[in-house]
Structure 1
Amino acid sequence: MTVVGIDAHKNWHTLVAVDDVGKRLAVLTVEARAVGHRQILTWLEQFDGVAVAVEDCRHLTRRLEADLLNAGHQVVRVHTRLMAGMRRSGREPGKSDPIDAEAVARVALREDGLPTAELPGASREIKLLTDHRRTLVARRTAMQSKVRWFLHEIDPDLHIPARALRRYQLLDDLQERIACRDGVVAEIARDLLDDIRSLTRRINDIERRLATLVRAGHPSLLEVPGLGVLGAAMIVGETAGARRFRSRHAFARFNGTAPIPVWSGNTVRVRLSRGGNRTINTALHMAAVTQLRLGGQGAAYYAKLITTGKTRTEALRLLRRRISDRVFAAMSTDELVTKTTPPATAAATATPRAGAVDLGRAA
């Protein structure tokens, strides 16, 4: 078997092929363009039973991965920290693109269970829309803070409730109130109100699209108490598939809800993990707080922990971990249903746009 490692850059891709014992066989450097990708596919034809490994930097390799997957190749991703150890153990000193590419190939040859690249599907659309919505909300929040000071300067008696500068009716009333005002302050305030209205419309449109995507592909996830559409979209976009985790414990370590063991002599303790994916951790925390507010099983579990001597912070952390396990089970169920759905049934239930290509099903 031949393993090909790829060291990717913005303008160049370097490939190194090694055999099943890690001996270098061939080296290729091509432009990171469509013509270079075609050269890679032609170059790979000389090997029998080839496996491709790329450095895990998806902003540089996403298009290359798609071309390789469409050509029928299996692609795995190698984290940079694994490459560093392999370079130190190599016989060739220094750091160059061929050395890095060879390190990628040897790590893929040595390690099992590396993440497998797939063609982008609905999860990436959810990720992109969630990130774009977060950017628009931050921009709108900055404008809302600024326009409040201008409105206070124009009319100190004007009272605007908290979180109210997203309501169309209030924006219209404010526009009418300052329409006859002269001066640069009023002019800028009117422009800011127009921009806030435009951003609010775009944010609401994105939220409706997210609701459609999440309800279609992750109905079990939406059944988790306290986890709304936006929280579920944050988790789906950041997880990129629950099947890439060995267990619920691995998923908890990924999102930062699994404690870190701390041994001191014969005493075994744990401490809070400050790592993990903070976006998922935030969504889980929001779900936990919502469960406490609404009551139910989550609130009962929290109260039980308090009675056993846990502090409120510790009880909330344990509840967050339990929600993580529930989320992992729900995502695994949704992915299993999607995987086992017959193509005819999926085609009958789906309503894609005209001319749209379902890359997720091709994966």
Structure 2
Amino acid sequence: MTEALQTGRVVIAVDPHKAPWTAAAVDAALQPVDVIRVDVGPEGYRRLRRFAQRWSDPGWAIEGAAGLGAPLTQRLHADGINVTDVPAKLAARVRVLSTGHGRMTDETDAISAGIAALTATRLHTASVDAAITALRAVVEHREDLVKTRTQTVNRLHVLLTHLTPSGAARGLTADRAADILRQIQPRETGLKTLRSLVADLVAEIRALDRRIAKAAGDIAAAVETSGTTLTELTGIGVLNAAKIIARVDTIDRFRSADAFATYTGTAPIAASSGDVSGGPRASTHGPRKESVTDPFLTPPEAFEKDRLDLYQPDRAPRSVTGGSLSRHQMATC
């Protein structure tokens, strides 16, 4: 946010949370001028605006403006105020390198966000797309439903082992469980109770199946409305396209393809220690573990090369991810 430095404007930096907003006014000398803590809500927003009116034309910066700070970002945008999005990692680096032992408090987080906004040169103006926010919510809702269904099916498997010696085969569905249940007519009170529980779980699974199907339909409609061309790529269906859109938001917020690769955790970086120099490995930055883009951004030939280079005579066998290979793993490579 170089404009704030050039004109000497004060930046109102906010550390957002679900309950309070903590704001710090940071001047061009990177010094905090004042701090305020307000409750999240209309009254807290009005107090925040009155706090900012103490300075002439202040800039605004929010840590995670598209995350926890999205409600505040939307309010400010509605009032015609642009907001600089400060990544949480950048604010954390500023805090760690500052004086005061890098202690993490809401006040220091807000001040760190203000300093980052004044000194960083490649920060973007935050934008909150209501359609993407809704898509992200539906995708997460579907994932929660799928997890709940998996847990319910697991409980159903356990109960069926008490009612029938063979239990149920894998891939159990509500219809298959109902068929099994019809063949079980216990006379003992305990077994009748178990059968009743199984019937309840079957009903829960049917309800979850309907909710998952509805969520999938909502996701498909949202992806079609977005006009994305992701589904034209081999291996990416509607659900994966929705996850990518929900996670990445707009591609314009990345300054280059390299920055996007770093975000997804697929950017190769050099690995070395002393005289030992390893080959390139995947970056650990970005949401790599959850990223649905990972398998699509890594060329297939890279995996094949890793298979051929798993064992080298001058070093111990290592796996692609850096762990030691077992004898069985080496035999199957």
Task: Check the 8 A contact 2:13/2:24 in 1, yes or no.
Answer: yes
Partner of 1:206: 215
Mapping for residues 167-316 of structure 1, pairs under 5 Å: 169-178=175-184, 180-182=185-187, 183-263=192-272, 269-278=279-288, 281-282=291-292, 284-285=294-295, 302=300, 306=304, 311=307
Match of 2:37, as an amino acid?
T
Instruction: State the 1:137 CA deviation.
Output: 1.0
1:281 aligned counterpart, secondary structure: coil
Are 2:125 and 1:116 equivalent residues in the alignment? yes
Cα deviation code 1:193-229 (max 9, x no counterpart): 1111111111111011111111221430111101111
1:16 aligned counterpart, secondary structure: strand
Match of 2:231, as an amino acid?
L
Match of 1:269, as an amino acid?
G
Aligned residue among 78, 84, 100 for 1:76: 84
Task: Check the 8 A contact 2:263/2:286 in 1, yes or no.
Answer: yes
Instruction: State the 1:279 CA deviation.
Output: 5.3
Tell me how far apart the structure 1 counterparts of residues 301 and 101 of structure 2 sit (CA, whole Å): 59
Instruction: State the 1:186 CA deviation.
Output: 0.8
Percent sequence identity over aligned pairs = 27
Mapping for residues 344-355 of structure 1, pairs under 5 Å: none
Aligned residue among 24, 29, 36 for 2:37: 29
Q: Could you list the runs of 5+ residues in structure 1 that have no partner in the other structure?
A: 289-297, 318-363
Tell me how far apart the structure 2 counterparts of residues 194 and 277 of structure 1 sit (CA, whole Å): 36
Instruction: State the 1:258 CA deviation.
Output: 1.7
Judged with a 3 Å threshold, the aligned counterparts in structure 2 of structure 1 residues 279 and 233 are, in CA distance, closer, same or farther, namely farther
Partner of 2:69: 61
Partner of 1:156: 165
Aligned residue among 49, 52, 55 for 1:41: 49
Task: Check the 8 A contact 1:215/1:222 in 2, yes or no.
Answer: no
2:127 aligned counterpart, secondary structure: coil
Cα deviation code 1:94-129 (max 9, x no counterpart): 856544433321210100222432224222222111
Cα deviation code 1:137-174 (max 9, x no counterpart): 111112212212322432335754x32416xx435534
Q: TM-score, normalized by length of structure 2?
A: 0.75
Q: Could you list the runs of 5+ residues in structure 2 that have no partner in the other structure?
A: 1-8, 311-319, 321-333
2:229 aligned counterpart, secondary structure: helix
1:276 aligned counterpart, secondary structure: coil
- Paired positions, count: 297
Higher helix share: 1
Tell me how far apart the structure 2 counterparts of residues 267 and 94 of structure 1 sit (CA, whole Å): 33
Tell me how far apart the structure 2 counterparts of residues 259 and 128 of structure 1 sit (CA, whole Å): 31
Task: Check the 8 A contact 1:255/1:280 in 2, yes or no.
Answer: no
Match of 1:173, as an amino acid?
D
Instruction: State the 1:263 CA deviation.
Output: 4.2
Mapping for residues 93-108 of structure 1, pairs under 5 Å: 97-108=106-117
Cα deviation code 1:15-70 (max 9, x no counterpart): 23233333444443333332010122233344333211122386643322221121
2:11 aligned counterpart, secondary structure: strand
Match of 2:44, as an amino acid?
G
Tell me how far apart the structure 1 counterparts of residues 33 and 204 of structure 2 sit (CA, whole Å): 59
Tell me how far apart the structure 2 counterparts of residues 213 and 57 of structure 1 sit (CA, whole Å): 23
Tell me how far apart the structure 2 counterparts of residues 152 and 21 of structure 1 sit (CA, whole Å): 70
Instruction: State the 1:10 CA deviation.
Output: 4.6
Partner of 1:320: none
1:74 aligned counterpart, secondary structure: coil
Judged with a 3 Å threshold, the aligned counterparts in structure 2 of structure 1 residues 176 and 245 are, in CA distance, closer, same or farther, namely same
Match of 1:196, as an amino acid?
I
Ranked by relative contact order (alpha carbons within 8 Å, sequence separation 6 or more), the top structure is: 1
Tell me how far apart the structure 1 counterparts of residues 48 and 302 of structure 2 sit (CA, whole Å): 60
Judged with a 3 Å threshold, the aligned counterparts in structure 2 of structure 1 residues 58 and 240 are, in CA distance, closer, same or farther, namely closer
Task: Check the 8 A contact 2:17/2:68 in 1, yes or no.
Answer: yes
Are 2:15 and 1:7 equivalent residues in the alignment? yes
Judged with a 3 Å threshold, the aligned counterparts in structure 2 of structure 1 residues 198 and 312 are, in CA distance, closer, same or farther, namely farther
Tell me how far apart the structure 1 counterparts of residues 100 and 228 of structure 2 sit (CA, whole Å): 52
Match of 2:266, as an amino acid?
T
2:271 aligned counterpart, secondary structure: strand
